[in-house]
Amino acid sequence: MAIKGKEVIEEMSLILSGKSFDAVFPSLVFVLINGFYGLNTAIFSSVGVALLFCIIRLLSKQPFYYATGGLLGGLIASGFAYFAGNASNYFIPKIISSAFVFLLSFTSLLMGKPLAAWASHLTRGWDLKWYWRKDVKPAYREVTWIWTIFFLIRLVLQISLFLSGNIIGLIWLNTLLGFPVSIIGLVPSYIYGSWRLHKLKGPSVEEYLEGIEAPWKGQTRGF
């Protein structure tokens, strides 16, 4: 089944709604300012930038989910760095977050309820029972394995850079492999999942809900 580029972009927009730059830029400010003016100035600058983004989005009535996330994350991260007096500690919350997501993804596989299925259900609102069919679930299980490996690699790299005190490496890693950029990086898993779902020859969500018997057309849009 061919997956069109336009379709991929439209599907990703369901997840990447908002100003993702708002969540990434405060961390960049922290690293740059810390290198020139020290830890305290870096903390105030990054939190100030995050707060400014929130105010701008709010006044312009634009989505401010990522701006709020950037502010809250920045406050927590700054607390770790300030009380420890170590700029590297700014990234401890991100490491904890990576560990949590990895464990969540791996645990979902052990329980037979893959994370990719839950993510799709929460995003699209499709009937949850449909995901657990034997001619549907394998696609979501395999995609969850891809996610789990990705999350594990990110976690290992984060811990390695943190222990070595490589702040520049941490900021680049969290920018390139962090949310929401990681979602874009996982586009291949969406393409694979859609292809695999088609190969399983199970019913589409609509066919399942309407009780249509095989042979089915299958899910032709979305994953």
Q: CA–CA separation, 161 vs 145, rounded Å?
A: 24
C-beta neighbour count of 169 within 10 angstroms: 15
Condensed to tens digits (0 to 9), the pLDDT of residues 70-102 reads 677 677 767 766 665 666 777 787 788 889 989
Is the pLDDT at 19 greater than 60, yes or no? no
Position 12 scores a pLDDT of 57
The residue count for the chain: 223
DSSP 32-44: HHHHHH-HHHHHH
Position 159 scores a pLDDT of 92
User: Are the C-beta atoms of 214 and 134 separated by less than 8 Å?
Assistant: no
Q: In this structure, what token pair is assigned to residue 104? A: 């969540």
Q: Higher model confidence: residue 105 or residue 9?
A: 105
**Which residues, other chains included, contact 114 with Cβ-Cβ below 8 Å and sequence gap of 6+?**
108, 137, 140, 141, 143, 144
Angle at the Cα of 201 from the Cα atoms of 196 and 207, rounded to 5 degrees: 115
Give the CA distances from residue 79 to residues 48, 65, 74, 88, 165, in Å, rounded to whole numbers and listed in that order. 14, 21, 8, 12, 18
Condensed to tens digits (0 to 9), the pLDDT of residues 158-198 reads 999 888 888 778 777 776 776 555 666 577 888 899 899 98
DSSP 18-31: S-THHHHHHHHHHH
Condensed to tens digits (0 to 9), the pLDDT of residues 106-165 reads 999 999 999 999 988 987 889 999 999 999 999 999 999 999 998 899 899 999 988 888
**Predicted confidence band of residue 69 (pLDDT cuts 50, 70, 90):** low
Long-range contacts of 88-91 (CB under 8 A, 24+ apart): 88/162, 88/165, 88/167, 88/170, 90/27, 90/30, 90/167, 91/158, 91/162, 91/167, 91/170, 91/171, 91/174
**Which residues, other chains included, contact 184 with Cβ-Cβ below 8 Å and sequence gap of 6+?**
12, 16
Q: CA–CA separation, 116 vs 149, rounded Å?
A: 13
C-beta neighbour count of 98 within 10 angstroms: 26
Query: pTM of this prediction?
Result: 0.70
**Domain spans of the chain, in order of start:** 17-85, 88-223
Q: Compute φ and ψ for 71, nearest 5 degrees.
A: -70, -50
